[in-house]
A and B are shown apart, each in its own frame.
Chain A
Amino acid sequence: MSLFELHYEVPGDDFTRAGEASGDVKAHLKKLGFDPATIRNVVIALYEAEINMVIHAGGGTIDVSVDPECIKMELIDHGPGIADISLAMQEGYSTAPDNVRALGFGAGMGLPNIKKYTDEMIIESEVGVGTVIKLRVDVKE
């Protein structure tokens, strides 16, 4: 049984709400007394994944479970799926449209950033069906 569980519905194509889930998770982790390094890793990974959902997948859901040893996140969307995951993982590779780039995203750093800041990252994706991303961040202190 987790210490704490959180659930979020992420609306698609609404950049005004992107980041709300990550911000809320940050507030909860801070309140629970987690160390800043762990919180930073969680929120960077989660925000990148949340933005990806908004840009590419028309939104989705996020479930976060908080344990004293680790924070686990599961992001599920029903977007177009990722055809070539290893290509998508390459820094600099992006399929983001120009309007997204103008907002400061789409540099092809989202997935590499998520990997960098998590201790485990599992992507399951099927073209035309959607994508599930499972992340785990171990508590540093």
Chain B
Amino acid sequence: MTVKELSEKLELNILVEGDLDREITGGYCGDLLSWVMSRCQSGDCWFTVMGNINCAAVAVLTDCACIVLTENAALDDDAKKRAEQQDINILQSDRNAYTLAVELGKLI
């Protein structure tokens, strides 16, 4: 399941287009960045409400496949700029992390 396929299946808004052909191999839900950083795995789809610049850094360091901002959480301008520079996929949905994670689990 690629990020592009996931965005279509779950009707996610694409806020920053990095490598949409990136394969998603798992999922992670969390908003505490230290926690996420030590547990989110390479290839994960990361569900969070944190749309600040530090999330872009955590996405790079964990090598997650994409960030999905849940419940329409906003993406800061700084974070958007950083994500564009570093080819990070950032998507958004009005649904919550639980609902989206359940859907992801059925797809991968």
Contacts and interface: CB of A to CB of B under 8 A. Distances in A.
Contacts of A103: 33, 50, 52, 54
Given A15-B52, A16-B53, A104-B54, A109 B34 contact: yes
Contact of B54 (A36, A44, A105, A117): A105
A19 B38 contact: no
A26 B57 contact: no
How large, as a class, is the contact surface on chain A? 20 to 34
A10 interface: no
Interface residues of B, number: 22
Given A44-B38, A48-B37, A107-B35, A23 B50 contact: no
B61 A117 contact: no
Contacts of A26: 60-61
Contacts of B55: 104
Interface string B59-85: 011100000000000000010001000
A19 B34 contact: no
A93 B61 CA distance: 24
Contact of A107 (B34, B56, B86): B34
A23 to B, nearest CB: 5
Nearest to B50: A104
B13 interface: no
A19 B54 contact: yes
A79 interface: no
Which of A104, A105, A107 gathers the greatest number of chain B CB atoms within 10 Å? Answer: A104
A85 to B, nearest CB: 18
A113 B61 CA distance: 14
Contacts of A47: 37, 57-58, 61
A36 B63 CA distance: 10
A16 B34 contact: no
A19 B32 contact: no
Interface string A75-112: 00000000000000000000000000001110101100
Contacts of A116: 38
Interface of B: 31-35, 37-38, 42, 50, 52-58, 60-62, 78, 82, 86
